[in-house]
Chains A and B, each alone.
Chain A
Amino acid sequence: MILQPTPLLSVKDLSVHFKGTGKLVGSQPVKAVDGISFNVYQGETLGIAGESGSGKSTLARALIGINKPTSGKILVRGHEIVDFSNSALRPIRKKIQMVFQDPYDSLDPLFTISQSIAEGLQVRDLPRSEIPTEVLRLLETVKLPGSLATRYPKELSGGQRQRVAIARALATNPDLIICDEAVAALDVSVRAQILNLLQDIQEQASISFIFISHDLSTLRYISKSVAIMYAGKIIEYGDSDAVLTHPQHPYTRALVSAVPNIAGNNGDKIKSIGEPPDLANVPSGCAFNPRCRESVAQCLIQTPQLLPTAQGPKVACHLIQPIESLQLSLGGE
């Protein structure tokens, strides 16, 4: 195994638990994110896949400092940034930006396009005189005409607004941009434009992305590695081609087989049963066990660890043989 260089972003055992809002006394906490670890390297894209209730949005918000983590570490180039109240960490935190799902709400409707982008520039302490040129340059980077600078968001289409959101995120010169379902609300023909744009930006500026989506096809296209989330945990993690074309975890297998293939029937479809669990009430042991056709007694009692497998990706499943001997020499741990 090749030892990887220091990751740009390293998340270790991150948990975000919310106080329960149940009506019973001593109600369970909502474990939206429960012990997650992963790495993102410079210039690469990590995809995070999950259905609703997987905790992926909470994870995104924890990374940009909106949700406070309950425990665990987030390291940017080796610097710990979990202590968000510390304003000295601000400059490091600004290196992580986000593009949101709803293009109709992520731009302040009372701000012009250039005002929205300029807000990102101010964070860089750019002198006022240079702001207009920089705004135009950013608009060019996202392939929008400069004439849009004086318009308001309501005059732009969804795809155009999303480009503006990307321009605003780029304005701070970030190292990492988190895209939280950034294309889900766009028309199909527009999604490809945005995905290609993100790839171009990555090539030019060596920016890393974390791409969060429920759409496996998009994730396979745009990510180098992918992490599959279920009930707040990562249950499979590795090279996106390996994970998405040869999934090992029963949930990943069910997820992949549920994706419709335009070319016709994709062989044996695994009929999945039931629905993702309520995060306030996660089943004990392996969270997927009530829906898993292959579960054994151990699955009900013991939570499986995310361990590397012979095929490469790490999987958290009792039924899959980990490679014990190679655990120690894996980089990035």
Chain B
Amino acid sequence: MNDHFEEIETSLDSPSLRTRAWKSLKADKVAFTSVVVVLLLIIIAICAPWFAPKLPLYQYPDGLSDIGAPQGPGRNFLLGADQNGRDVLSRLIFGARVSLTVGVVATALASIIGVTIGAISGYMGGWVESILMRLTDIVLSFPILLFCIALIAVTGPSTKNVVLVIAFAYWTYLARIIRSQVLSLKEREFIIAARSLGLTTPQIIRRHIIPHLIPTIIVYSTLGVATSILIEASLSFLGIGVPLPQPSWGEMISEGQKYFQSAPWLLIAPGVTIIFAVLAFNLMGDWLTDLFDASSTGVKR
């Protein structure tokens, strides 16, 4: 029987996703800030040459003092210069381009693999599911770092490898989440109705299952970018990430720690940047989770 209270709630709850998104952003300052930061990062990454005050790779002679020590933050170099006279701010901005590109591409790749494997294993069940899930477990227990080192040893450092490694590490999380969602989705009556209409399994997965997974995919992709920024930074820190001379936040930290006593800005600048970037993506992921939770995909009974 239709519960009386449910009706009142749904008649109050009819605003669209867009309206609710806007309202919740206005109400929640933290969420709002995180979305702004993410958008800023994206814009900066795309338009890096327009934002960077100087060239990131050029070794400016006036970056170093007379005795060869890097200049601190000042009018000339807003965040200081590094041991080669390069502008830290410009390197950070171009590093954003690297981090975000790697993040988006790697996460997209991870999503495609993870959703495919998760959806198929969840929907089909049986031995297909067993095999795919065991595969997922094996990959999950892989030591990513060792794998990366081995890969680099064979093929040499490249951005492509970084993207592949991150995608390889991340798809498993998505596969598991998607699988459990699909398991509960496939019991819903509209799926059974689709089966009784005679739709084939690929048709059902494409038309009825995947669209319901989109909120999860969006949330996990956002969180995935955060994770990949960290992984990329870690790999670059270890020297097996994005190859030189491309500026990378991780590489900047690696260099910066050597000069921490004399030129602390070399470590602080990229460190703080990474923290804020990862935080922003994570918080935006939280906001999206809450937004989709009071979901527009049907009346809650």
Contact = CB atoms under 8 A, between A and B. Distances in A.
Interface of A: 61, 64-66, 90, 93-94, 96-98, 100-102, 104-110, 119-120, 123, 153-154, 158, 165, 168, 172, 185, 187
Given A105-B189, A154-B10, A110 B297 contact: yes
A280 B86 CA distance: 76
Contacts of B301: 104
Interface stretch (B20-28, B116-124, B195-203, B224-232): B195-203
Contacts, number: 68
Given A97-B196, A119-B199, A153-B298, A158 B190 contact: no
A175 to B, nearest CB: 14
Nearest to B199: A119
A187 B198 CA distance: 31
Contacts of B196: 64-66, 96-98
B299 interface: yes
A100 B212 contact: no
A158 B7 CA distance: 11
Contact of A119 (B10, B197, B297, B298): B197
Interface in B198-216: 198-199, 207-208, 211-212
B197 A120 contact: yes
Contacts of B195: 64-66
Nearest to B301: A104
B2 interface: yes
Question: Which DSSP category, helix, strand, loop or mixed, fits chain A's interface?
Answer: loop
Contacts of A187: 1-2
Interface string B172-197: 00000000000000001110111111
B208 A108 contact: yes
A236 B192 CA distance: 30
A98 B198 contact: no
Contacts of A97: 196-197
Contact of B197 (A107, A158, A172): A172
A123 B2 contact: no
Given A110-B297, A154-B298, A158-B2, A100 B198 contact: no
Given A154-B10, A154-B299, A187-B2, A108 B190 contact: yes
Contact of A123 (B197, B207, B297): B197
Contacts of B207: 119
Given A100-B193, A105-B190, A109-B298, A90 B10 contact: no
B193 A109 contact: no
A165 B193 CA distance: 9
25 contacts: A64-B195, A65-B195, A66-B196, A90-B198, A93-B198, A102-B189, A104-B299, A105-B190, A106-B189, A106-B193, A107-B190, A108-B194, A108-B208, A109-B299, A110-B211, A119-B197, A123-B197, A153-B298, A154-B299, A168-B197, A172-B197, A172-B198, A185-B1, A185-B2, A187-B1
B197 A106 contact: no
A59 to B, nearest CB: 14
Contacts of A120: 197
B5 to A, nearest CB: 15
B197 A105 contact: no
A19 to B, nearest CB: 14
Contacts of B194: 108, 119
Contacts of A109: 190, 297-299
A185 to B, nearest CB: 7
Nearest to A120: B197
Contacts of B190: 105-109
A101 B188 CA distance: 12
Contacts of A66: 192, 195-196
Residue in A100, A108, A153, A187 with the greatest tally of chain B CB atoms within 10 Å? A108
B298 A104 contact: yes
Given A104-B299, A109-B299, 9 more contacts: A97-B197, A98-B196, A101-B189, A106-B189, A109-B298, A110-B297, A123-B198, A165-B193, A168-B193
Interface in B209-255: 211-212
Interface in B109-146: none
Nearest to A184: B1
Contacts of A105: 188-190, 298
Contacts of B299: 104, 109, 154
Contacts of A172: 197-198
B184 to A, nearest CB: 12
Contacts of B297: 109-110
Interface in B29-82: none
A110 B192 contact: no
A93 B211 CA distance: 27
Residue in A90, A94, A110 with the greatest tally of chain B CB atoms within 10 Å? A110
A172 B190 CA distance: 16
A120 to B, nearest CB: 6
A187 B188 CA distance: 22
